[in-house]
Structure 1
Amino acid sequence: MIDKIAHSVAEALAGVKDGATVLIGGFGTAGIPNELIDGLIEQGAKDLTVVNNNAGNADAGLAALLKTGRVRKIICSFPRQADSWVFDGLYRSGRLELELVPQGNLAERIRAAGAGIGAFFTPTGFGTELAKHADGSPKETREINGRHYVLEHPIHGDVALIKAECGDRWGNLSYRMAARNFGPVMATAAKQTIATVHEIVALGALDPEAIVTPGIFVSRIVKIDRVATQAGGFRKAA
């Protein structure tokens, strides 16, 4: 019987290894799998490459993971914000490597990994510092129909950590509003995908038209609770 339900965050993350490339969903503060990030901190994997749209906020979530010193490199689009002091300190001191990727390129490089595309040409970044490799050498370029393009390669993950709204024991997932951002493409681009959900439903309860990430792309799901806060909003229980 196929049953991808993990009974705890620790159980779900047990196989993450040192040196892994970890794709972490989220856009700004929407759809961030905070429980899985906290669990990864507890799990102890080190020398990680993290792929995310941002580079963490304040001292929680992804910023807390960076603060442990166990992330070697981050690949993202928006590393600097008003409260990105953890990233700033690590980067300026040379303790964290940054690969800056335009947001559309980031999404497409992840999508390309899931789609089995070897590389693709994009006009974004042509003629800028982003058209160079980390060592300063130029990326391959080509002129197509009078327009200049840069060759970009897929971003493959060893593991993807994503947040969904609900799922079933086969791992089929649906998302809530803006929380559906990088999760669906990251799930296709990783060797294993771990998702948090607020509800686990019976097989057949999810409308097939509402399933965004089919279970074939998901390795484990773990249920987390939603708890009301004093401000009237919601937070998730660990």
Structure 2
Amino acid sequence: MSNAPTTIAPVNPAEFAGRTAFVTGGASGIGLETARRLAAGGAAVVIADYDEQGAERAAAELTAAGGRAAAVRVDVSDPESVRAAVEFTVRTFGGLNLAVNNAGIAGIAAPTGEYTVEDWKRVIDTNLNGVFYSLRYELPQLLASGGGAVVNMASILGTNGFAGSPAYTAAKHGVVGLTKTAAVEYAAKGVRVNAVGPGFIDTPLLRNADAPQREYLVSLHPQGRLGTAAEVAELTVFLLSDRASFVNGSYHLVDGAYAAR
């Protein structure tokens, strides 16, 4: 059996028909792959990203492929920006049924005792507070639409430590806890909330890594390679679908056995 990535099966074109999805960090990487699969499944998709031009390009791509999509700029570290983006989604497509809270940043690499307060705040504001702000404004709209599903993008570092990444690791652990709490609170109201924990994925975030860095990251995964955005999107879209109707409050790794070492 080959260790190379396999071709991901096409989405059922009617699986998300009549539903609206909101995807933060949707202009590239995992967010874009997830948006593509949601649109291919019939969802109307709002691409929300700090990179407004990137979001517009992504929405244009989905529309050209026959989907329904719109773009909006969002700074997830700013609650008012998130509120406005969610309201734009409801205003544009008439409601909200699915949400993927994917926006995040890597932050600097430094030991905890040398990590700057400014960089700590910047990573926490985006990677943890940004997920809280997104849930804060998505959940009332999901309830108003009769329920739905949310996936919060955590990381393998939501369960493991990683030297030099105290803020990122703390934020992703927080995302897992926030996911479980929201799931318990909203389960009886028809909203499911799960988290996905990718290992190191071959996305634009890692494109600037030099060869030794990439080799080191590959070595952390017993499968002997980095993951792909499509592999993470496949699990994310499954969790959003009715096929995962009894999957709630859980944290799913896509990590090539990283955590099993």
Same fold, TM-score > 0.5, yes or no: no
Larger fraction in strand: 1
The structure with higher relative contact order (CA 8 Å, sep 6+) is 1
Larger fraction in helix: 2
- TM-score scaled to structure 2, two decimals? 0.35
